[in-house]
Structure 1
């Protein structure tokens, strides 16, 4: 299908969401890719990952770019050749890209029961007090996505989700929160916003100004 939804975060930042309903052949036939990307997709064992990879290229084309405009640095962080910042995420039925004048991180995750089993490993559990089971799952997913998105902004080896990234109290109805990264003797602040798309949570992180 075409673009699922666009979120305009600020004047220079937008997130584009694609719902993957096409089969592999349809996606492959509609994207242009450089040789390194063709080799990369051929090496993927999961068709879900292949379709996520291709749908990201569909999003690039929707935004006026293509695979040839996308490069990765030695740490695996994506960049656009024109100097714009980009962040990429994929989870099962959805892919997302964010394009911004600012360094940005996004993450999209399916809401699943598993997140509550692993929650004590990555977050402070007081965030989930007095919530229904469904809202616990959603909020834990927001917090996981927050940590992933901040990590994508910083992209530094050694950042620990439970030890270095801390979220301020928030409500799911707020659709935003703030968080801090305590790392390498400094504290950096981030503005977080999040949205629900069907059974998925999309999270965006930008450094506070």
Structure 2
């Protein structure tokens, strides 16, 4: 089905969502892959992992609007980056959708998640008691997914391993709606950064994103 949603955040920053309805072969035919990328693909099990990897790269190509080879690699922490383009990027996927965020002048982070009730069982593993206290009972599942997507987006923006969702990423209280924004912090030894998190409901999914 290809690109189903695109949002331009400013002149140099945007994100988009791709609905994965193609086969792996159909996605593969839209890419220019080098030997090391083909070798990596062969290590993935056929199925969603393969489709997710391919679809994020196809969407990245669409967003960059280029016929050039896109050298997308991962650093020592697993954060994706582009070797031959100036853009900073963030990739995400969940079930039938892939999301890509790009910017020419700032760091970015995005997360997309299928909304499922099982998140209530693990809420205490990524939210503090203070954060749990502002979760609205009538919108519990959706509110929890906004919080998860927010912390995941900050984690991807920061791009370093060892970050604790529970201890290091702190969310200010906010009320849940279909779309909105709120403040959050990443607090590490010797530093603290403030961010504005944006989120929106997309069909049965939640999207959270952040920029530097």
Partner of 1:71: 73
Question: In 1, Cα distance between the equivalents of 2:86 and 2:123?
Answer: 36
Match of 1:191 among 189, 196, 203: 196
Contact 1:141–1:201 (CA under 8 A) maintained in structure 2: yes
TM-score, scaled relative to structure 1: 0.91
Contact 1:57–1:67 (CA under 8 A) maintained in structure 2: no
Match of 1:126 among 124, 130, 133: 133
3-state DSSP of counterpart to 1:163: coil
Partner of 1:139: 143
**How much does 1:171 deviate?**
2.0
The yes-or-no answer on 1:99 pairing with 2:95 is no
**How much does 1:202 deviate?**
1.0
Q: Deviations over 1:34-65 (max 9, x none)?
A: 21211111111251011111111211221224
Question: In 2, Cα distance between the equivalents of 1:17 and 1:148?
Answer: 17
**How much does 1:27 deviate?**
1.6
Q: Deviations over 1:98-138 (max 9, x none)?
A: 01121111111110111111001111311313x32xx2111
Instruction: Report how many aligned residue pairs link the two structures.
Output: 204
Cα RMSD, aligned residues only:
1.6
3-state DSSP of counterpart to 1:40: helix
Where is the helix percentage greater, Structure 1 or Structure 2? 1
Q: Deviations over 1:173-208 (max 9, x none)?
A: 25111100111132110111111111111110123x
The yes-or-no answer on 1:110 pairing with 2:117 is no
C-alpha change, 1:2 and 1:156, in structure 2 (3 Å) is closer
3-state DSSP of counterpart to 1:128: coil
TM-score, scaled relative to structure 2: 0.90
Match of 2:176 among 159, 172, 179: 172
Contact 1:16–1:96 (CA under 8 A) maintained in structure 2: yes
Question: In 2, Cα distance between the equivalents of 1:69 and 1:114?
Answer: 37
Contact 1:179–1:190 (CA under 8 A) maintained in structure 2: yes
Structure 2 gaps, min length 5: none
Which stretch has the larger CA shift, 5-14 or 94-103? Answer: 5-14
3-state DSSP of counterpart to 1:71: strand
**How much does 1:67 deviate?**
5.7
Structure 1 gaps, min length 5: none
Contact 2:77–2:161 (CA under 8 A) maintained in structure 1: no
Contact 1:180–1:187 (CA under 8 A) maintained in structure 2: yes
